[in-house]
Structure 1
Amino acid sequence: MLVGPDASTITQNQFQSIKTEISMSASSLAEGQKGVLTTGLLKLFGPLFLVLPGLITFAMFPDLGAANADQAYGQLVNAVLPTALSGFFAAAMLGAILSSYNSALNSTCTLFSLGLYRGMIRQDATDREAVASGKMFGWIIAVFSMGAAPLLMGQESIFAYLQQMNGIYSIPILSVVLCGMLSPTMPSLSAKVGPILGPALVACGYFIGPIATWVGAVHEYHFLGMVFLFLVGLMLLIQQLYPRVEPWQQSGVEVLDMTPWRYSRPAGAAMCGLVVIVYFAFADFA
């Protein structure tokens, strides 16, 4: 069961294009490592504003129930926050939401303009045309997302539903990235099979009646873990049958200082230790 949630979490926190683009924009390898480790340290404070409010709300409003979990945060804020600070809190929440939304929207526009428009639709497009295509695609995505948002109100839990939908793309992305990073002879065919077959398999498990019933019986995370292992095994099989003629070698990094930060390993080890401490602090072994 650990494979499913771990794979989904790793993809969302490490391999999303938003995080990748920011990390790769560093002026050197050392600065990039510092940024990633600093972000990881800030992530450790997540339980303070993600877990604790829910626990406090559960203690204060035991009658709220799991069916109304999406109302928990609002109930807690309404109960403990002074009325004079309500506007300030709403502004802070709106700013945080817009910041995350803008980051995702900009990343999506970049993927479309460079990956699809210039990469496949018009390979001879100028920079101005690529930027214009990204802006137009951004408008389409923005209007679509705002129109689709009210449809989520019918879900029992918006957070759980979004996490479930994330599994459609997170598992294939992780399998492709891991295989590509760990094997220099992995062919491009593997990278094409994963993103096509993976979402199809996960979607079948979510939306096709008999398969969805089976997934519900074995648990969703078990299913995601099995899809992940299947994709990795399939890509390794393709590698054995059709390996790259020339092993891949990294190039184009001469313009950057690739000297690692000398404290990257100790800092990474300390970060792992803090993660274990946080886990044991919040885990219920009863």
Structure 2
Amino acid sequence: MTIILSFLICTLTVAFISWYKTRSTNLNTVSGLFFGGKNNGYLVVAGSLILTNLSANQFVGENESVFINNMSVMAWGVTSVLAILLVSQFLLPVYFKYGMVTTPDFLALRYDESTKKLVSIVFLLSYAVNLLPPVLYGGAVALTSMFNIDALLNISYWQCIWIMVWILGITGSAYTIIGGLKAITISDSMLGAGFLFIGICLPFYALNHLGGGDFFNGLNLLLTKHTSHLNAIGGKHDAIPFGTIFTGMVLVNIYYWGMEQYIVQQSLAAKSLKDAQKGMAFAALAKLISPLLINLPGLVAVHLYTNVTNTATVFPMVVADVLPTILLGFTAALIFGAAMTTYNAGLHGSSTLFVLNIYKPYCQKRGIEIEDKNLIKVSKRFEIILSLCAMFAAPFILFANSGFYAYLQQVSGLFSMPILTIVVVGFINKKVPPTAAKAGLIMFMVSYFCCEYIFDVDLHFLHVLAILFLIISALMMLYGWFFPMQKNVVFNPPLASDVNAVPWKMRHVAALSLIICMILLYLFFSPLGVAKLD
């Protein structure tokens, strides 16, 4: 009863404060609904970025990977610091300077409107296949295991996953449809404070439990036994081979933090470029701290459990075994909130792309006059349809053959890297025509699908992504050499007059400090540090 009570109190408190803080926001305009009025400060930006990034997928998937392999999986979070800093320095100023509201806006500026529309469709496919269903599934797995809901209700695990998926999906949809981006960012900020609190409590209780009531004994066991699991320098057969950090991973992270609509939208809601850059710097700092919460339970599980049938349940098992009942309910509420915020942001980003990049241009092309209230009505209907599709699809991820997190990252490359490729080529070469961009996008998707799912290519998928990135980029530029655009692209649209695009003066100092910390963290989790190989 204490667990359920603390869960409900935390969840309802966040919902009430989000409603209270957004009651004055005008949600009947495109700016108010999609961008929260563009008046978020840097702390709100940082909180919304982290909570949108965090989801039950990471808690479930990364701890499963640590338990099976080692700490090499922390690369997804820790090395994203470099990508965040690059995006903050080079991409955000462009977005703010020209008042861009969706990621494909750059493609319309650089190539043409049809390229923008094609990429918007790829984004929507990505969200429908590889974002919304896995977020619901990950949240359902975590909550089912933490509360033993299947045993409590005397139903099968499969039935329980269906029930939890629909609870998460309906709640998240309501949040998004009723409150818009402002409600999402407010709830993210509060949940961020909660994760900071649990990030301190969980390691303490986990190590205390491991040490039989003695925290330092638990810490000693963690650092001296099964030390190969502490190694973040992944080998060829680990989840993340070390070499992939410098090939496909850096590209995937740049795409994620600088072009993924539901992430970029959190930065674009800032009241100024300075606030957006400061918010991203704080988000990068949080990514350096995140292994304490995201990966440590997997390390503790290595010492606690010797025979786990379903390794996806490792994280909820540790949390349920080590935390006091009141904190267990609080943690469950945070995981519920993390699943919802990622789901909310993905759903919201999808409707933004559909309404602004597909539906609105379609109406304008046919001379149909549309008002903001009509666009908002269409966006809410689209969100309902997409949410229903995600809720029906999510439970079937249970039957995925590969590990949950590996499945997510491998499939995401099918959508993310083709977009990154044509954006990067568009930045560095102004001669490549729209035809090459469209052909490159499709060629990349087909080639990657063949390499991963048809032919037996003996390479890690991140290396495959990097190689295809170089090949498709070269082919696009070669095409541009022989068949260049008729006129050079000049980025000189009217500047956004209502946005403060002055950069943050301390961004370079913050960047250097964060990169040094990232390197030190890798040295700590290496054979030169605590990871003495067994």
TM tier relative to shorter chain = 0.7 to 0.9
2:260 equivalent among 10, 16, 31: 16
**In the alignment, what sits opposite 1:233?**
474
For the pair 1:27 / 2:271, whether they are aligned, the reply is yes
- Amino acid corresponding to residue 420 of structure 2 in structure 1: L
1:259 equivalent among 502, 508, 514: 502
Q: 1:273 to 1:183 in 2, by over 3 A?
A: farther
**Post-superposition offset of 1:284:** 4.6
**In the alignment, what sits opposite 1:148?**
393
In the alignment, the residues of structure 2 paired with residue 201 and residue 45 of structure 1 have an alpha-carbon distance, to the nearest angstrom, of 37
Contact 2:421/2:469 (<8 A) preserved: yes
Q: 1:71 to 1:30 in 2, by over 3 A?
A: same
For the pair 1:131 / 2:373, whether they are aligned, the reply is no
- Amino acid corresponding to residue 282 of structure 1 in structure 2: F
In the alignment, the residues of structure 1 paired with residue 349 and residue 408 of structure 2 have an alpha-carbon distance, to the nearest angstrom, of 18
Contact 2:429/2:477 (<8 A) preserved: no
2:517 equivalent among 250, 267, 274: 274
**Post-superposition offset of 1:98:** 0.5
**Post-superposition offset of 1:96:** 1.3
**Post-superposition offset of 1:145:** 0.8
**Post-superposition offset of 1:141:** 1.3
- Amino acid corresponding to residue 170 of structure 1 in structure 2: S
Q: What pairs with 1:94-243 in structure 2 (closer than 5 Å)?
A: 94-120=336-362, 123=365, 124=368, 126=370, 127-155=372-400, 156-208=402-454, 211=455, 214-215=456-457, 217-243=458-484
Q: What pairs with 1:38-117 in structure 2 (closer than 5 Å)?
A: 38-64=282-308, 68-117=310-359
Contact 2:257/2:264 (<8 A) preserved: no
**Post-superposition offset of 1:143:** 0.8
Q: 1:120 to 1:188 in 2, by over 3 A?
A: farther
**Post-superposition offset of 1:259:** 2.4
Contact 2:431/2:481 (<8 A) preserved: no
Contact 1:169/1:195 (<8 A) preserved: no
The two structures have a TM-score, normalised by structure 1, of 0.87
Q: 1:79 to 1:168 in 2, by over 3 A?
A: same
- Amino acid corresponding to residue 387 of structure 2 in structure 1: A
- Amino acid corresponding to residue 109 of structure 1 in structure 2: S
Q: 1:140 to 1:259 in 2, by over 3 A?
A: same
Q: Residues 28-80 of structure 1, C-alpha deviation per residue, up to 9 Å, x if partnerless?
A: 3222221222222222222122222211111221333xx73311101111210
- Amino acid corresponding to residue 280 of structure 1 in structure 2: L
Q: 1:280 to 1:14 in 2, by over 3 A?
A: farther
The alignment's C-alpha RMSD in Å is 2.3
In the alignment, the residues of structure 2 paired with residue 113 and residue 58 of structure 1 have an alpha-carbon distance, to the nearest angstrom, of 47
Q: 1:102 to 1:24 in 2, by over 3 A?
A: same
**Post-superposition offset of 1:13:** 2.9
Query: SS of the residue aligned with 1:218?
Result: coil
Q: Residues 189-240 of structure 1, C-alpha deviation per residue, up to 9 Å, x if partnerless?
A: 34323332222222222332xx1xx22x222222222222122212222332
Q: Residues 105-137 of structure 1, C-alpha deviation per residue, up to 9 Å, x if partnerless?
A: 000111111111123466445133332332222
In the alignment, the residues of structure 1 paired with residue 443 and residue 362 of structure 2 have an alpha-carbon distance, to the nearest angstrom, of 20
Q: 1:191 to 1:118 in 2, by over 3 A?
A: farther
Contact 1:173/1:194 (<8 A) preserved: no
**In the alignment, what sits opposite 1:248?**
490
Q: How many residues align?
A: 279
In the alignment, the residues of structure 2 paired with residue 20 and residue 183 of structure 1 have an alpha-carbon distance, to the nearest angstrom, of 24
Query: SS of the residue aligned with 1:9?
Result: helix
Query: SS of the residue aligned with 1:147?
Result: helix
Contact 1:37/1:268 (<8 A) preserved: yes
In the alignment, the residues of structure 2 paired with residue 239 and residue 266 of structure 1 have an alpha-carbon distance, to the nearest angstrom, of 39
Contact 1:28/1:258 (<8 A) preserved: yes
Tell me, which stretches of 5 or more residues in structure 2 are unaligned? 1-243
Tell me, which stretches of 5 or more residues in structure 1 are unaligned? none
**Mean alpha-carbon deviation: is it higher for 33-42 or for 253-262?**
253-262
